[in-house]
Amino acid sequence: MNPTDEQAAAADHFHAGDHLVLQAGAGTGKTTTLALLAHGTQRRGRYLAYNRAIARDAATRFPTTVACKTAHAMAYAALGHRFARRLNGPRQPSWRTGQALGITKTLRIGDRDISTRTLSNATLRTVTRFCHSADDRLSLHHVPRLRGLEDDSLHTQLAETVMPFAHKAWSDLQHPDDGVVRFDHDHYLKIWALTHPQTTAEFLLLDEAQDTNPVVEQIFTAQRDHAQLVMVGDSAQAIYHWRGARDVMTGFQGTALALSQSFRFGPRLAAEANRWLAIATAPIRLSGTETVPTEVGPVDRADAVLCRTNVGAMGTVMDLLAAGIQVGLVGGGGSLQALALAARDLKQGRRTGHPELVLFTCWGEVQDYAAHDPAGRDLQPLVDLVDTHGTDALLTAIDRIQPEDLAEVTVSTAHKAKGREWPRVRIANDFTPPEDSEERDETGRPIPGPIDEGEARLAYVAITRARERLDLGGLSWINDHPDGCLS
């Protein structure tokens, strides 16, 4: 390859032995750059991939001196194989696991009855949150907050009840041969991390560093004294904070470099991306490739429609199906189906085990919570979807979703679209603008409120999935927002 100046600079610093943190914008060839570094040395290295598919692809591009693995694969080879008998055991309801752990009594907290099923679910989620953390021991902050128990004193009561069962569950998971808790891959990764492992590799390359779980960050940074560390990612694509990931790039001690030349799209889309990068206070700005004529404007028939939420994606799927279009959904309809089934249970007067709705006794409570409680505003689109279409229509639509390779249009959330690209992309209408502030301009109109940095990062991910044409659609409000003129 003919490296760009930025890629050549990264190679120079790598060969000088520097620890590197490489900000790589959308479509800038980060894996190609890492392969360039690896091919320029005879030292033994490891490439830590975000998932198995990326690891497999990287293995075809890196020299044989570099092992391309996920952190889970490293953990399995070192220690996880001892638990092979327990892996992929039969699924069972959380209440059954909880019963085996001794959860047998309903708990009253405030004006809510917390069922054994809910306590069991909270216990297992507590263990999962601990496994994703860099913490050495289980503690109260690992207990998840439940809708309806947002008050700190109520959450403390829940946490103090859950913790003894969480400790019992974690103890159960230490047994390689048998136990009552279903053993999964995050469990052996955490058990391995707690041994403070050391790699024999001479350098480590961490990909997608902006979405690294604290447990993987801990393993990676602990190698600093005996291995050269290179982390690469895009801080502006750090969009998984809600599930435990955090951007480890901004605080990493190393030589900071950037890849800003995008090969995916042209200058017009790069300029659009830079508006959102400025709002997100990102450390890079992009330049497009002149020979790639990407346009920004309306799209009659998009290859992909990108949505803000799962509920927005379902609404888009139903609109497209009603128009007679064959639709695919990235990730499938499992999570939406679970929400629809939970809503149907509540509408029929039954409690549900869905973690988002588990504390509600009927659908009316959900409607009231979404309409009047600030903590429930994100449920309002689900309520609107169910109340407009009904759960049976939603479930029927989910059954009509096609595999992506058979679909005319692919629908995705922006989160699930990360790492993907399509020729023509339209942004769905559930990317809503921020609320107006109390201030007014000279004409008396309310001045829009500031754009949340997290929302700006998500918008940046969404718009940079396009190669040929982008329809801003639900993000077109940026053209009238005061922050939209930033460069």
Measured CA to CA, the distance from residue 279 to residue 454 in angstroms comes to 10
Residues 106 and 86: their CA atoms lie apart, in Å, by 30
Tokens linked to 226 = 């005996």
Pick the closest to residue 25 from 464, 478, 423 (CA basis): 464
Type of residue at 245: A
Q: Which amino acid is at 29?
A: G
Residues of the chain with pLDDT under 50: 487
313: CB partners within 8 A, 6+ apart: 307, 329, 336, 411, 412, 413, 428
Contacts of 233 (CB under 8 A, 6+ apart): 22, 23, 24, 30, 206, 207, 208, 209, 210, 211, 247, 249
Distance from C-alpha of 29 to C-alpha of 52, rounded to nearest angstrom: 19
- What confidence score (pLDDT) does residue 194 get? 97
CB atoms < 10 A from the CB of 15, how many?
11
Helix (H) or strand (E) holding 437: strand 436-440
Q: What is the model's pLDDT at position 370?
A: 83
Q: How far is CA 481 from the centre of its chain?
A: 27
φ and ψ of 444, to 5 deg: 90, 0
Angle between helices 267-279 and 453-463 (to 10 degrees): 170
Compute CA distances 339 → 4, 89, 336, whole Å: 48, 25, 5
Q: What pLDDT is attached to residue 487?
A: 46
* Residue 388 region by backbone torsions, left for phi larger than 0, else alpha for psi between -120 and 50, else beta: alpha
In this structure, are residues 457 and 431 in contact, taking their beta carbons and an 8 Å threshold?
A: no
- What local confidence, expressed as pLDDT, does residue 374 receive? 66
H runs (alpha helix) in 390-452: 391-399, 414-417
The pLDDT score that the predictor gives to residue 91 is 66
Element (H, E) at 367: helix 363-372
Q: C-alpha angle 57/133/128, rounded to 5°?
A: 85
Rounded to whole angstroms, the Cα distance separating 135 from 153 reads 23
DSSP type of residue 434: P
Task: Please tell me whether residue 245 adopts helix, strand or coil conformation.
Answer: coil
Q: Which amino acid is at 13?
A: H
Q: How many CA atoms lie within 13 A of 474 on its CB side?
A: 22
d(CA 107, CA 149): 13
Contacts of 18 (CB under 8 A, 6+ apart): 228, 254, 255
Picking from 271, 289, 317, 312, the residue whose alpha carbon sits closest to that of residue 478 is 271
